Structure 1
Amino acid sequence: MGSMRDRLTDGLYGAGWAGVKKLPEPAAVALGRRIADFVWKRHGRSVQRLESNLARVLPEAGPEQLRELSRAGMRSYMRYWMESFRLPAVPKERFGRDVRIEDDHILREALASGRGVIVALPHLANWDLAGAWATTHLGIPFTTVAERLKPETLFDRFVAYRESLGMEVLPHTGGAAFGTLARRLRAGGLVCLVADRDLSSSGVEVEFFGATARMPAGPALLAQQTGAVLLPATLWYGDSPRMYGRIHPPVPVPETGTRPAKTAAMTQMVADAFASGIAEHPEDWHMLQRLWLDDLEPRGNGPHEAAEAGA
């Protein structure tokens, strides 16, 4: 049964990459919206979880407002997938037009310092499109981490897809990724990590929209160990340009305290930057899984949540 499910999952994702990228862009947009509305109307567990998470972001929102916001959220979520399936077929010169990043001088100056740069992002809008912008418009290759998927063929698809956009992709499992990331940073490289949800259950507890959540310690630990600059970044969708983003000010390493205390303080600052971007554009936050500690229960990773672990 598991093998059949794996083959089905791999086949569906393969069909997405093979089929959607051949569609004219308006047709892909319309298809994504139809799928989003169909899933939203069914009001299954993923949509219910999205509404529960959005209720944390907007505690004053009533059921009707949350319902409309979750509809916009599902449309944004499917827009991510339709765009991502099509990205390998998009002319690279478009990325400079399609993405506008506010305060990108902070990123450029950090890279020019030669210290190495860690960009930490939440699951907002399209982080793959932001990566394509960095590799093509800025001409900067970077390294990222992805959760190893089942079946292995699906993981290979994600790796090949992201490598086609100019990313170096490391598997999350096995513990070797941290050392490789540290070497890239010591060489003055760029590392990008999606970091608003901890999949290891050993992350750092942070205050996030009034309750406790757990976020990965990796960005803060890498900054401390290598001297790299840690920059939170947030994204949101537009029409023209297609997507916007903001580079937030660097997160400093505290001058005093133990390593765990420094890591906790830095991760909280990252969480605060994420919260500011999510609060401004909650419909573009693709968090369809449990996040806050009082919501957590034992669970397995689905393809989407696993694939995005270290995007």
Structure 2
Amino acid sequence: MPKHKPQSNIFNHAWSYRFSLAVASIMPLSFLHFVTRKIAMLWHWIDKGTVKQVESNLSRVIGNNPMALHKASRELFFNYAAYLADWARFIAVDTSGVFSFLNEINGKDNFKEAHAKGKGIIILTAHLGNWELGGLVFTHSGMPFNVVTAKDEAEAIARVRTKVRALHNIKTITIEEGSFFLIDIVNALRRNEPVAMLVDRYEKKNGVLVDFLGEKTYFPRGPVLLAKATGAAVMPALVVLDKSKKYKAVLDSPIEMEWSGDEEMDICVNVAKIAKVFEQYIRAYPTQWFNFSAIWDA
């Protein structure tokens, strides 16, 4: 499976983020949801290439029925529009509002137990649900939070997100050439801070080939190597919309890393564990899996 670049879409531009921020600052959330939903409806109608890629990805989860795939992809586009609207309103304008929309936080004890060990926590998440809101759960409890992001993200969007995160004590660590970013990650873990990273980038370079949604798929080895080097806990987490259209935060049990002394085998075993957890998440919330790129070869 070759490396696939993220697919551009109508919402994946700096102007859409700035527009959402501007509207969110003067209009109620209901109006912002109305506008972004209409844009998503138009986007789903005209951008057949992206729809085809999304439905190809979803077919691994819900099967190949064309009507079901069309319905699911349309709902996914609407959910992504809601994600952007909520990001603009809650993170950038009115952070207190997110907690009125946060129905529940599952797994607080999981986090407390991992944090008590004092070696940091590697928070693993995916392009699933409203991952940007997750940091607020921590920072509004007085805890610093770190987000690892890739350099190849659209630079203008990255600047907007980084600036907004910084307003809430969320530090962005950008993966770049060289190893200085690793120092920032390790130092944060040594301070016993959470470090969050997305694991569903599916890049062959430095990746590990594992089973995922019935296909051989590359997952990053970085989280496992960091856990081995630092002793940090590896905790899957997500923030998703439930049936009531309120958010639910999940702090899952840490994934038990296995160390046999065979480094390459250990990496493969532990990365496969990570992939299995996120496969279960995606099967549970397929229309909140916001991956607009082709993952597997046709």
TM-score after normalising by structure 2? 0.87
C-alpha distance in 2 between matches for 1:19 and 1:74:
20
Does residue 1:58 correspond to 2:70, yes or no?
no
Does residue 1:145 correspond to 2:148, yes or no?
yes
Q: Any conservation in 1 of the 2:17–2:84 contact (CA below 8 Å)?
A: no
SS at 1:57 equivalent: helix
Deviation at 1:112, TM superposition (A): 2.0
Q: 1:236 to 1:262 in 2, by over 3 A?
A: same
Does residue 1:244 correspond to 2:248, yes or no?
yes
Question: What's the counterpart of residue 260 of structure 1?
Answer: 264
Q: Which whole-Å deviations, capped at 9, do the CAs of 1:6-51 have from their partners, x for residues lacking one?
A: xxx5445433333344321110011111111111122421111111
Question: What's the counterpart of residue 196 of structure 2?
Answer: 192
C-alpha distance in 1 between matches for 2:149 and 2:163:
12
Deviation at 1:167, TM superposition (A): 0.8
**Which stretch has the larger CA shift, 42-51 or 87-96?**
87-96
**Which stretch has the larger CA shift, 91-100 or 220-229?**
91-100
- Consecutive unaligned residues in structure 2, runs of 5 or more: 1-12
**Which stretch has the larger CA shift, 268-277 or 16-25?**
16-25
Q: How does 1:147-226 map to 2 (within 5 A)?
A: 147-148=150-151, 152-174=155-177, 175-199=179-203, 201-226=205-230
Deviation at 1:291, TM superposition (A): 1.9
Residue 194 of structure 2 aligns with an amino acid whose one-letter code is: L
C-alpha distance in 1 between matches for 2:127 and 2:16:
22
SS at 1:235 equivalent: strand
Q: Taking every aligned residue pair, what percent have the same amino acid on both sides? A: 26
Flag as ranges the 4+ runs of structure 1 deviating above 6 A.
none
SS at 1:165 equivalent: coil
- Consecutive unaligned residues in structure 1, runs of 5 or more: 1-8, 296-311
**Which stretch has the larger CA shift, 109-118 or 12-21?**
12-21
Q: Any conservation in 1 of the 2:129–2:288 contact (CA below 8 Å)?
A: yes
Does residue 1:134 correspond to 2:138, yes or no?
yes
Question: What's the counterpart of residue 82 of structure 1?
Answer: 85
Residue 162 of structure 2 aligns with an amino acid whose one-letter code is: V
SS at 1:205 equivalent: strand
Q: Any conservation in 1 of the 2:21–2:93 contact (CA below 8 Å)?
A: no
Does residue 1:48 correspond to 2:52, yes or no?
yes
C-alpha distance in 2 between matches for 1:214 and 1:230:
19
Q: Any conservation in 2 of the 1:120–1:233 contact (CA below 8 Å)?
A: yes
C-alpha distance in 1 between matches for 2:128 and 2:202:
16
Q: 1:71 aligns with which of 74, 89, 105?
A: 74
**Which stretch has the larger CA shift, 66-75 or 21-30?**
21-30
TM-score after normalising by structure 1? 0.84
C-alpha distance in 2 between matches for 1:113 and 1:214:
31
Q: 1:93 to 1:15 in 2, by over 3 A?
A: closer
Q: 1:73 to 1:182 in 2, by over 3 A?
A: same
Q: Which whole-Å deviations, capped at 9, do the CAs of 1:96-125 have from their partners, x for residues lacking one?
A: 332222122101221122121011011111
Deviation at 1:180, TM superposition (A): 1.4
C-alpha distance in 1 between matches for 2:39 and 2:217:
30
Q: Any conservation in 1 of the 2:122–2:233 contact (CA below 8 Å)?
A: yes
Q: Any conservation in 1 of the 2:17–2:88 contact (CA below 8 Å)?
A: no
Q: Any conservation in 1 of the 2:73–2:287 contact (CA below 8 Å)?
A: yes
Q: 1:109 to 1:130 in 2, by over 3 A?
A: same
Question: What's the counterpart of residue 308 of structure 1?
Answer: none
Question: What's the counterpart of residue 95 of structure 1?
Answer: 98
Q: Which whole-Å deviations, capped at 9, do the CAs of 1:221-269 have from their partners, x for residues lacking one?
A: 1111100000112332136572113222211221304222212211111
Residue 245 of structure 1 aligns with an amino acid whose one-letter code is: A
Question: What's the counterpart of residue 277 of structure 2?
Answer: 273
- Report the number of matched residues: 285
Q: 1:169 to 1:23 in 2, by over 3 A?
A: same
**Which stretch has the larger CA shift, 80-89 or 49-58?**
80-89
Q: CA RMSD in A?
A: 2.2
C-alpha distance in 2 between matches for 1:34 and 1:252:
44
Q: Any conservation in 2 of the 1:132–1:166 contact (CA below 8 Å)?
A: no
Question: What's the counterpart of residue 3 of structure 2?
Answer: none
Q: Any conservation in 2 of the 1:204–1:214 contact (CA below 8 Å)?
A: yes
